[in-house]
């Protein structure tokens, strides 16, 4: 197996893995990383509900596709367990129904609000990749708007597929036999999994103010995307354990606090993935520069 390039998992590999994880832990302990993650979480909180309004309104009033809006509501109930999901879905339904057809000006304003998350995220990624100068505000807003449309399309598709259940499936495809419906629902839900890494890949690749090789960040986007999916299920399992404590400490603000806390943890994971990719890229560059000097002369 070693001749094919597969190294045995020995103590050296474990030490190498620990060194890599230790660098990530050291990165997480930096004060500025917490500042970036909190800024991203706060921006996400400000962008979160406007973006939901855009997604649900596009499905309900622009695409004339009520089943798509139903899938968005169902996915929210999966992402946010219990009464938190019910609270978000109820208010989203009321706003989407009351507004009716969303005016173009309102849609543009909502999209402008939703792209606010990319400002602190670009600063954090520039710092990770060693970029000294950030984009100007208006250049950042232009790129953020493009990313909102690109990532928004992926997130909308992923959300609809994640919210696919028997009721939504029947509203889209009509009544089908149970032996067809159940596997089809799960296949559609599984199809949402690669869309999250694709969204992260766009952010890792295009948002830093420098040229980033997509081959470098692609494996990280896949890993971080899957890890965020695992965190979603951890949230579903642990929410009943700490819901009462958060509610007791923060009172009527515990909905917002819960979203910000989980957004902060997700931002820390996203930033750690970018730091890992940038560190490996620097290491590969150093190895490439040192390799010719370590090779003996051809005449020896």
pLDDT average, residue stretch 116-131: 92
Tell me, what's the pLDDT at 96? 85
* Tens-place pLDDT, residues 4-48: 444 454 544 677 767 778 888 999 999 999 999 999 999 888 888
- DSSP H or E run through 268: helix 254-294
pLDDT, greater one: 157 or 208: 208
Q: Residue 154: which of 63, 261, 51, 258 has the closest Cα? A: 51
| pLDDT tier at 208, thresholds 50, 70, 90 | very high
pLDDT average, residue stretch 175-201: 86
Tell me, what's the pLDDT at 169? 77
Q: Residue 194: which of 238, 161, 152, 241 has the closest Cα? A: 161
Q: Of the ranges 174-188, 216-230, 269-283, which one carries the lowest mean pLDDT score?
A: 174-188
| pLDDT tier at 188, thresholds 50, 70, 90 | confident
| pLDDT tier at 84, thresholds 50, 70, 90 | confident
Q: What are the φ/ψ torsions at residue 191 (nearest 5 degrees)?
A: -65, -20
Tell me, what's the pLDDT at 241? 80
Count the helix, strand and coil residues of the chain and give each as a percent rounded to the nearest 5: 85, 0, 15
pLDDT average, residue stretch 59-74: 85
Q: Residue 151: which of 216, 201, 102, 76 has the closest Cα? A: 201
Two tokens at 194? 């690669």
Q: Which of 68-72, 93-97, 210-214, 253-257 has the highest mean pLDDT?
A: 210-214
Residue 136 scores a pLDDT above 80 = yes
Tell me, what's the pLDDT at 144? 86
Cβ contacts of 108 within 8 Å, gap of 6 or more:
none
CA distance 34 to 267: 9
Is the distance from CB of 233 to CB of 169 less than 8 angstroms?
Answer: no
In whole numbers, what is the pLDDT of the chain averaged over residues? Answer: 83
Q: How many residues does the chain have?
A: 300
Global pTM exceeds 0.95: no
Residue 207 scores a pLDDT above 90 = yes
Is the distance from CB of 100 to CB of 88 less than 8 angstroms?
Answer: no
Tell me, what's the pLDDT at 183? 85
Tell me, what's the pLDDT at 4? 45
Q: Is 212 exposed, middle or buried (0-12, 13-18, 19+ CB in 10 A)?
A: buried
| pLDDT tier at 192, thresholds 50, 70, 90 | confident
Residue 3 scores a pLDDT above 50 = no
Residue 94 scores a pLDDT above 60 = yes
* Tens-place pLDDT, residues 253-298: 888 898 899 999 999 999 999 999 999 898 888 777 776 555 555 4
Tell me, what's the pLDDT at 103? 55
pLDDT, greater one: 123 or 287: 123
Tell me, what's the pLDDT at 9? 45
Tell me, what's the pLDDT at 225? 94
């Amino acid at each position: 197996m070693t001749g094919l390039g597969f190294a045995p998992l020995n103590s050296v590999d474990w030490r190498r893995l620990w060194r890599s994880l230790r660098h990530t832990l050291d990165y997480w302990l930096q004060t500025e990383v917490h500042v970036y993650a909190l800024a991203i979480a706060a921006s996400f909180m400000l962008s979160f509900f406007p973006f939901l309004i855009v997604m649900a309104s596009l499905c309900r009033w622009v695409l004339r596709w009520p089943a798509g809006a139903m899938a968005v509501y169902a996915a929210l109930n999966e992402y946010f367990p219990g009464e938190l999901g019910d609270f978000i879905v109820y208010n989203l339904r009321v706003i989407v129904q009351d507004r009716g057809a969303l005016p173009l000006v309102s849609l543009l304003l909502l999209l402008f609000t939703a792209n606010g998350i990319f400002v602190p995220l670009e600063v954090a990624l520039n710092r990770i990749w060693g970029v000294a100068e950030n984009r100007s505000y208006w250049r950042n807003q232009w790129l953020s708007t493009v990313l909102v449309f690109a990532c928004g399309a992926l997130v909308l598709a992923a959300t609809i597929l994640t919210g696919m259940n028997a009721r939504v499936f029947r509203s889209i495809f009509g009544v089908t036999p149970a032996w067809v419906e159940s596997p089809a629902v799960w296949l559609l839900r599984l199809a949402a999994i690669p869309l999250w890494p694709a969204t992260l890949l766009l952010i890792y690749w295009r948002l830093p103010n420098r040229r980033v090789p997509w081959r470098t960040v692609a494996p990280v986007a896949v890993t971080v995307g899957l890890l965020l999916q695992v965190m979603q299920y951890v949230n579903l399992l642990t929410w009943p354990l700490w819901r009462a404590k958060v509610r007791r400490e923060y009172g009527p603000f515990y909905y917002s606090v819960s979203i910000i806390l989980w957004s902060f943890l997700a931002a820390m994971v996203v930033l750690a993935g970018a730091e890992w990719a940038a560190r490996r890229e620097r290491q590969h560059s150093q190895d490439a520069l040192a390799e010719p000097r370590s090779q003996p002369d051809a005449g020896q």
